[in-house]
Amino acid sequence: RHPQRITRTIKSFVSYMKAMVIEMTEKQLYTSAWDECPRVAVVMATYNGIKYLEEQVDSIFSQNGVNVSLYVYDDCSTDGTPTLLKKLSNEYGSKGKTLVYTKGEENVGFPTSFFKALASVENSFDFYAYSDQDDVWKESKLYVAVKALELTSGNSSRPSLYFEPTT
């Protein structure tokens, strides 16, 4: 009914969250022990995404203040994406990080690919995030999202969703 009011509210909230992150000192952001950080499962579907994929995966595992695991479903890529995902899974696995990669047997399209990636996730996460294969995330993206969602955690009768538009 009031799209301008909603837009202003969203812009105000985003500004508030950005200011909150800027005001944090590096010490405040990184003092939590790794195991005490919120656990976030990042779900990604890929299809012929080799061009930007490594940079995006690196940005996901560079997130501050959260413990991230990445679950990827590849929808029958033919450009080397599966080989890269296997390499990255081994590389990050050797660093104690989790990248679970599943190669599809037939092309099912991106909506079903996201559902298949989500189906491979364990139930032991505090939050879930979706990622495109060609994005690059700021290091505080998930931390800001978690803090925003924690503001709504007192109302468990309604699910919460955080959205950050790309620029």
pLDDT tens sequence across 57-113:
999 999 999 999 999 999 999 999 999 999 999 999 999 999 999 999 999 999 999
Alpha-carbon span 71 to 88, nearest angstrom: 12
Residue 128 is inside which H or E element, if any? strand 127-131
* pTM, rounded to two decimals: 0.77
Two structure tokens written together for 63: 């997130």
pLDDT tens sequence across 1-55:
555 666 666 666 556 555 554 444 343 444 445 458 999 999 999 999 999 999 9
pLDDT tens sequence across 119-150:
999 888 999 999 999 999 999 999 999 999 98
Number of H helices and E strands in the chain, helices first, is 6, 4
Exposure string (b/e) for 25-48, b if CB count within 10 Å is 16 or more? eeeeeeeeeeeebbbbbbbbbbbe
Two structure tokens written together for 145: 């999202």
